Amino acid sequence: MARGPDNVRKWSTLALLAIMGTALTEAINPGFVAIISQKGLDFACQEGVAVLQKDLEGIKVPDFSGVFKVKHLGRNYYKFYSMAVVGFYIPNPQINLQPVDSLQLSIKDASIEIIGKWTSKKNLLKAGGKFSLRIQGVSISADLKLFRNPSGHIAVECSTCSSHIDSVHVQISGSMLGWLIQLFHKNIEASLRNIIYSKVCKIVTNSVTTKLHPYVQTLPVIARVDEAAAIDYSLLVVTTTSEFLKGQLKGEFFCQGHRIPLPITPPAMNFFSNNDHMVHLGISDYFFNSAGFAYHECGILKITLRDHMLPTDSKFRLNTEFLGIFLPKVAMKFPSTEVQLLISASLPPQLSIQPSGLLLDPAMETQAFAVLPNASLVPLFLLRMNTNASLELDAEANRLVGEMKLEKLTLELKHSDFGFFEVELLQAAINYLVPIMVLPKINERLRKGIPLPLPAGVQLNNLMFQSYQSPFLVLSLP
């Protein structure tokens, strides 16, 4: 899993979990599901705590001073200063799932090492030296509350935090009077314990507020696909168990020009997660079919073919001489005239997910025009094009990419302005033109891919297609 910028890179996986943890109450099925297993949680915990550890190592310990009394010597003054944390060791961090909408960060048996200087004064008598402090048995428990803010983005906050310190040990050196201060180490240790105790949860809360929360905000609730379409990845609901976290996303394409309600509904998606994998992504046929409706609504599922676009060695030319073979009336009325073909989707393409893969049923038609010298178009005939198609998917970094394959096309005459003709006479031409001129443009677009719902800087590498199960497929990250 690739990293983002240094100041957030190791929060990234934890942020991905947090994003999946926001609850809405809409009772609708998702088009996209993400499941994080305990293996994924464990990885996220190690990555996120690495950042928190650096923040904790930056604890600023203020100078403090006090007075102690020694029999026969009276009152003695001491001061501890120039203190710095040289190590904050976190041996066993854990992220635990909490009911409904939160995660619990749990740290046990951590330790802190601090070094600094001390000075002591009695009248004109001064002494000083260095000291080392070891704080052991540090435990931290913090609940990360996940919710949706008024702007519709995901938010996270540290709702509760508590810490505990088992023991504090001070080692003073540097002067013969150091032993005097050592006699009163309990008071000194108590003071340092209170200082550290007050700092730990402030740093944890601040780290969540200034690092994790802004990073979570980078999740694209609306992900732009291209100039025409975008995807609504808003989170609908979260489910937690003792083993995994399940986030259900809307997963719906829409035309950016104007969004309309879709005449289809998402199916239920139920599948079992494999704890040997960190992440599972379930994608329903609704996700893909909403793309078909969106692009059809945008009016861009069409391509125009002109003669100059054909290879110079093409077996066929788009002109009336070629059409005259089976439509002599056209050749007679428009001699030596260019012909234009408009291939378009008459209906939104429908995709189904089968155990064998992704099958596509494209409803296409071809309208033929004669192109007059003044560039005006004269309609000639309209054909229905029937074929079966399959779609092969792959995942690259943060995008889902694909490649379409078409079977042989068959034609059916829907309308002709110049009389009936046998469409079989056009069959060879259409089956020649579509693979070399139409399909490459479709696959060029499919190779650009569609964005997966990930926050900034996160890439899911080595995703594998675990299974195809109607009506959804499952991608897994080991």
Mean pLDDT, residues 61-86 taken together: 77
Instruction: Give the per-residue pLDDT at 456.
Output: 77
Gap between the Cα atoms of 16 and 456, Å rounded? 10
How do residues 381-439 score in pLDDT, each as one tens digit? Answer: 999 998 889 988 888 878 899 999 988 888 999 999 988 888 887 888 888 888 888 89
Extents of the domains making up the chain: 38-216, 222-477
Give the chain's mean pLDDT.
82
Q: Which two tokens stand for residue 108?
A: 């046990």
Gap between the Cα atoms of 289 and 162, Å rounded? 48
Mean pLDDT, residues 135-161 taken together: 82
**Most confident range, picked from 76-80, 234-238, 392-396:** 392-396
Question: How far is CA 220 from each of CA 52, 225, 231, 400, 451, rounded to the nearest angstrom?
Answer: 25, 11, 9, 15, 9
In which band, very low, low, confident or very high, does the pLDDT at 48 lie, cut at 50, 70 and 90? confident
Half-sphere exposure of 410 (CA within 13 A, CB side): 4
Residue scoring higher pLDDT (19 or 28) = 28
How do residues 38-47 score in pLDDT, each as one tens digit? Answer: 788 788 788 7
Nearest-CA neighbor of 279 among 246, 257, 250?
246
Mean pLDDT, residues 317-341 taken together: 90
What residues does 105 pair with on adjacent strands? 95, 142
pTM over 0.75: yes
Q: Which two tokens stand for residue 50?
A: 């690495």
Domains 38-216 and 222-477 share a fold: no
Q: Report the CATH number of the 222-477 domain.
A: 3.15.20.10
Q: Report the CATH number of the 38-216 domain.
A: 3.15.10.10
